[in-house]
Amino acid sequence: MPHKWGMAVDLDRCTGCEACVVACHSENNIPTVGETEAARGRAMHWIRIERYWEGEFPEVQVKFRPVLCQQCDEAPCEPVCPTYASSHSEDGLNSQIYNRCIGTRYCANACGYNVRFFNFFTPSWDKPLHLQLNPDVSVREGGVMEKCTFCIQRINAGKVSAGIEQRPLLDGEIQPACVQSCTANALVFGDLADPDSTVSKLSKSPRGTKLLEELGTKPKVTYLQRGSWDDSQKR
Amino acid sequence: MDRRNFLKVGALTGASATLTSCGNPEHQMIRFIPEEEIQGGIAIWKPSVCPLCATGCGMLVRVVDGEAEVIRNGKKGLIQMGLARKLEGNPAHPISQGKLCARGQAAIQVTYHPDRIIHPLKRNGVRGSGPFQEITWDEAITILLSQIDGLAAAGSQNALAFLTKPMRGQRQTLISRFMQSYGAPPPMNFDPFGDQVLRRANAHSFGHEQLPTFDIAQSRYVISFGADFLGTWNAAVPQSAGYGEMRQGKPGHRGKFVQVEARMSQTGANADEWVPVNPGTEGVLALGMAHVIVNLKLRPGNLAALAEYTPAEVAKRTGVKTERIERLAREFAENSPAIAIIGGTPLAHTNGMFSALAVNTLNTLSGSMGKPGGISFMPQPGKDAPPGTSFNKFVTEQLASPESPVKALLLHEANPVYGSPSAWRVREALSKIPFIASFGSFIDETSILADLVLPDHSFLESWVDDVPESGAGIAVASVAPPAMRPIHQTRAMPDVLLDVSHRLAKPLQQPLPWKTYEEMLKDSFESISPGADTWNNAIANGGVWGKTGEPGVRPLVPLFPRYSEPEFDGEGVQFPFHFLPYKSQSFLDGSLAHLPWLQELPDVLSTAMWSSWVEVHTETARGLGLVQGDVVEISSTQGKIQAPVLLSPGIAPNVIAMPMGQGHETFTRFASGRGANPISILAPMAEPETGALAWAATRVRISKVDAASKLILFAGGMREHPDDHR
Amino acid sequence: MKVIKNGVHPHRGMLTLLIILGILGVVGLASGLLFESSILKGQPIAQNPPVGTTGVFTPAHSSVSLAVRHFFGWRPAAVQPIAFNHKPHLEQAQMECLYCHAGALTGPRATIPGVNSCMTCHNTIAKDKPAVQQIAEYFNRGEEIPWQRVYGWNDEAHLRFNHAPHLAASVSCGKCHGDVGSMADAKRIIDHSMNFCVTCHKEKKASIDCVTCHF
């Protein structure tokens, strides 16, 4: 049975530490664009922490929300790509195929979550920073879109290992870089097609919501709402 | 187009294809035979310890082979070697529990930094301006030896000084023993933002001069007085892991978290209730809560000693309403186990000791000291380290005499020229010293004064060890071999020190019997528990840990602290704002500003990247005619700096806050000449008992200046919509 | 001389094309100059010393011909520094592919053996052969032999091929690499086009999802 990869983000656990943001850069060869390009809005953070302020001083509160590609089942970025570079994989992921991409950026335009990033320039790494690059992941050249892949390299490596050892994948065996590094264990990744997986159970939690659900994108990331002090929620 | 033309075009393309051979110069380089066993394309995981903050997270390093440019026998070429590619927390390590913070994830960039010092250097010009010239290790050691031998020959061993950030484990032992054996004073620790006040308070209250460990996972109520414990304070990684469990790890119960502070921090953003207080009155609030708890007989206690801390009186001083004080007190007492945490800004006032003791009183009252869900102290092996030489005393003595009392200074992992208030005149004090040698990997504001640089390996290339001070309920001793071979012509500082100690003209009184640091570590681990297995297991796992028989908390009579009014530098009218520098999420105290991932990491509350900024209350800014991005001059009695304004809903109207970390004059291509350094304008206020810098005691004024704004935000600002504050 | 028939120019197709291209070229040049194209001005727009990306438009390829070659997947044939002959190794010495290309069993890269591997046998065997003497020379200099890869793809294919699952599925080395054991000079005799891979994947019911190989 094909997998259906999904994620759950527990907003009550997320502390806004941004370990996930740096872990993602480290794992996925994301270029550092530098001060000038960052000022032009071209910094590339495949996962970012959004913060929402509520109230006015002194009754003020902040809410954090990690936002990454939602791997939508009805992804608005897919039908608009003229070369089928943004396509749906058999495991339910929205895959970005770099060698097909011709850089129209229509997919980024269509994405309501603002999670797609364009390589305006061919990235360079001041030596020897290039030695850190992950050999299991492509280095994207200029003119190519990129975004969170749920660490497809880790998913594929996990499937290969399980295949060679002729055993099924275990729940929690594959962890994208962000999930692995989350200090408060707020991020959970797994197979939504497996009803016993942690992520499947969390996706049905009464605290669960989806981001911009009203757009009809069918995102595969479930956000678990922040609790209030009177809660006695079951996980 | 007809066939003839098509063929012509095709031929042209084809011809140029064959003409352009593979001109990649890298393909012309020699490839040396690898010096280790290589498994092509396979990842190996090796243990290590993160050195970027005092927590000491155990990590696993993902090593995959790759080609690095190296020099062998004077020739440049490529070599296939295991290269670190990704850092993860070590799941078995009791401190990191399989996690790393954002800074730990970025630590890999230290090893591969393009501006790392890659071979020994000797000063070749006027001190403090560069330039340096490359020399060999033999030359470098010769120079160092001649200086140290020279002092010994003149009987001036006590004129040798060692300046370092506080070290633990065998590095600390080695440096201390070297200095002591040689006849020099103990090493100086430079760590003005390191919570010395809390350690001393804990010594008074609980007999442990140590940072506490919090069992947040099992706690039902956490109230934090200014401590950014989920971000930059104490053992942030295990504290965050515990916090996640406290919130959603126990079906049926969700712990409550209250943050008391004058400026919304990353930690404060997660609170169920955020309580702003007047700066310097955090301890008063704690004792106010204690008063209510004892008064309502929720816990037994000495009400007479707390008599003056009635809710009404406390409300007046702190700005927190009486109902709230009473409710917080009741909640704290009724939801056991409860923890009160104090750290960061409240300790950085002149009355920091009072506040720390006040919170210790609250914790003792709650009954959670030494219990699950409460506070304990990590067992620390061995005797307490002998007290170091005071850095402040050193600076004072240097400035007092025209001839420098210190004749030779050894620098290690400290940047006091950047990290001290200008008022301390550290650059002046250091510049007098006839000979300065640095073991650092980078040229920064302090190491640029060096005459000799003996670059250390990066931590991934070193034998690393650590004894964490806080973060777990059991004893931990971390140790790990190098995760990769060195990529530059660097040498491990402990090995250099040992080498020097064996070649001194006048041998050490108590010689250091090890040839290498590896030998020393092996010896120390085998003395903890003998047997080859201990050592082999330790280096395979990244250390040893386990329960010891020692109790966590020694019960002492709780000390009801004597009240002390916070003092501030700068008169109220001329300097209307409290100035709160804070350890930034990316750079801490500025020592991590050279890492590009951290420069580009959006600050989580403001989304600022590559920038300095000052947080000003929205209304205050409006009153001063300031809009977001306007550059202001911030002046204290000690000096002035400039920074763009960031409007914040989460700060008191009479407080402005600025992250530390930018404003480096010299610190690699990524940090040099960027932003402003708030530390420089701090007044030299001190906590009286420890002498620690009271870095929250400075008052300032701000005024708009006509300068180009360099505020770079990933999102629109502190509100969702960027136009909110226009 | 061409006769104009029916008022239509015989080379109208070519002329139309040239005119359109000419207009586009002029428009491009003009807008480039107007909007300060960095290529035409020959200097970066970014004023600060570049940190991170260069801030200057750098094409992914250093020349048009390189781009064309990479697009069609043309790679020059490998030219080896030493005339290595697979035949005696597999036939006389009875070695197997995995003896030297050991990485294929466990990981993504089959790997080319280092000079140390060669010397384990050749410090005694066939020392009289000139090729073996060349190996010894490299070894004595502490250098690896600069072999050139025979098979492989350009970076632009973004292919992350992994040998291990193919070996685990009992795909023989010869299926994709040809009978290298019978070659005196290892040549690329099988074209690793996408069609070649996908055909076998379809037969063996392996995944043909894009993201299985391109990521």
Q: Could you please report the per-residue DSSP string of B345-401?
A: GGGGSTTHHHHHHHHHHHHHHHT-BTSTTSEE-----SSPPPP-B-HHHHHHHHHHS
Cβ-contact B645, B632 below 8 angstroms:
yes
Give the integer Cα–Cα distance in Å for B453 and B443: 9
**Residues B171 and B202 placed together within one structural domain of the fold:** no
B203 and B343 both lie in a single domain? yes
> Mean pLDDT per segment of 10 residues, for chain C of length 215 residues?
64 88 81 49 37 58 84 85 93 91 92 93 92 94 93 90 95 94 90 94 95 95
A169-226 pLDDT, tens digit each: 999 999 999 999 999 999 999 999 999 999 999 999 999 999 999 999 999 999 999 9
Whole-angstrom distance, CA of residue B637 vs CA of residue B630: 23
Q: Where are the beta strands (DSSP E) in chain A?
A: 5-10, 48-56, 59-67, 86-88, 94-96, 117-118, 145-146, 187-191, 208-209, 221-224
**Is B38 part of a structural domain of the chain?**
yes
Q: Give the nearest chain A residue to C70 (CA atoms).
A: A99
Alpha-carbon Rg for chain C in angstroms: 26
pLDDT the model gives residue B56: 97
Smallest CA–CA distance, residue A88 to chain C, in Å, is 9
Strands B577-582 and B699-704: antiparallel
Is B52:B104 a contact under the CB 8 Å cutoff?
Answer: yes
Task: Give the CATH number, domain containing residue B238.
Answer: 3.40.228.10
CATH of residue B653's domain is 2.40.40.20
In chain A, what is the straight-line distance between the N-terminal and C-terminal CA atoms, in Å? 27
Domain boundary among B58, B78, B111: B111
Residue B353 lies in a domain: yes
Mapping DSSP onto H, E and C, the string for C37-77 reads CHHHHCCCCCCCCCCCCCCCCCCCCCCHHHHHHHHHCCCCC
> Residue B597: inside a domain, yes or no?
yes
B592: in domain: yes
d(CA A88, CA A77): 10
CATH of the domain at B74: 2.20.25.90
Q: Would B150 be classed as within a structural domain?
A: yes
pLDDT-wise least confident of B13-22, B542-551, C49-58 = B13-22
The DSSP code for B485 is: -
Query: Cβ distance B181 to B208 under 8 Å?
Result: no
Domain assignments of chain A as residue spans, ordered by start: 5-224
* pLDDT at B211 exceeding the cut of 60: yes
Tell me if B377 sits within 8 A of B260, measured CB to CB. Answer: no
Average pLDDT over residues B232-244: 97
- The DSSP element (H or E) to which B58 belongs, if any, is strand B58-72
Instruction: Count the Cβ atoms, other than its own, within 10 Å of residue B556.
Output: 15
Per the CB < 8 Å rule, is C215 touching A149?
A: yes
Q: Quick one: which of C117, A207, A108 has its CA closest to B248?
A: A207
- Domain holding B622, by residue range, is 577-725
CB proximity B258 to A under 8 Å = no
Buried b (16+ CB within 10 A) or exposed e, B269-299: bbbbbbbbbbbbbbbbbbbbbbbbbbbeebe
CATH number for the domain that contains residue B164: 3.40.50.740
Mean confidence (pLDDT) of chain B = 91
Question: Tell me: the pLDDT tens digits for B165-210?
Answer: 999 999 999 999 999 999 999 999 999 999 999 999 999 999 899 9
Q: How far apart are CA C151 and CA C171, in angstroms?
A: 17
Last-in-domain residue among B78, B111, B144? B111
Residues 597-656 of B with CB under 8 A from A: 597-602, 604-605, 607, 609-610, 617-618, 649-653
Residues B340 and B419 in one domain: no
> What does the alpha-carbon distance between residue B690 and residue B694 come to, in Å, rounded to a whole number?
10
Cβ–Cβ contact C79 with A under 8 A: no
Residues of C in contact with A101 (CB under 8 A): none
Q: pLDDT value at position C24?
A: 87
CB contacts of C57 in chain A (<8 Å) are 121, 142
Largest CA distance in chain A: 59
Tell whether B526 and B659 lie within a shared domain.
no
Angle, nearest 10°, between helix axes B196-206 and B352-366?
Answer: 40
Please give the helix or strand (H or E) that residue B713 lies within, else none.
Answer: strand B712-713
Specify if B470 maps to a domain. Answer: no
Radius of gyration of chain A, Cα coordinates, nearest whole angstrom: 18
User: Are A122 and C60 an interchain contact pair (Cβ–Cβ within 8 Å)?
Assistant: yes
Of B637, B623, B634, give the one whose Cα is nearest residue B656.
Answer: B634
Asked if B166 and B186 count as a contact pair (C-beta separation under 8 A), the reply is: no
For residues B414 and B503, membership in a common domain is answered with yes
Distance of alpha carbon B349 from alpha carbon B578, whole angstroms: 11
The reply to whether B143 falls in a domain is yes
My answer on whether omega of the bond before B387 falls inside 30° of 0, hence cis, is no
Q: Give the strand order in the sheet containing B338-342.
A: B273-275, B256-260, B221-225, B338-342
> For the segment B412-452, what is each residue's pLDDT rounded down to a tens digit?
999 999 999 999 999 999 999 999 999 999 999 999 999 99
Does C47 contact chain B (CB < 8 Å)? Answer: no
pLDDT at site A233? 34
- In chain A, residues with a C-beta closer than 8 Å to the C-beta of C47 are 36
Q: What pLDDT does residue C67 have?
A: 84
Mean pLDDT calculated for residue range B376-393: 82
Cα separation, A104 vs A111, whole angstroms: 13
pTM above 0.95, yes or no: no
Q: How many angstroms from the chain centroid is the CA of residue A16?
A: 16
- Does the domain at A5-224 match CATH 3.30.70.20? Answer given as yes
Window 110-169 of A: residues touching C by CB (8 A cutoff) are 120-124, 136-139, 141-143, 149, 152-153, 156, 160, 163-164
Asked if A160 is an interface residue toward chain B (Cβ–Cβ < 8 A), one would say no
Q: What is the pLDDT of residue B11?
A: 38
Nearest CA in chain B to A125: B114
Same domain for B395 and B276, yes or no, is no
Q: Mind listing the pLDDT tens digit for each residue in B462-482?
A: 999 999 999 999 999 999 999
Cβ contact B381:B467 at 8 Å: yes
Q: Of the residues B351, B376, B401, which one is the last residue of a structural domain?
A: B376
Tell me the C-alpha distance between C58 and C69, whole Å: 18
Considering the domain architecture, whether residues B365 and B229 belong to the same structural domain is answered as yes
Considering CB atoms only, which of A12, A26, A128 is closest to B105? Answer: A26
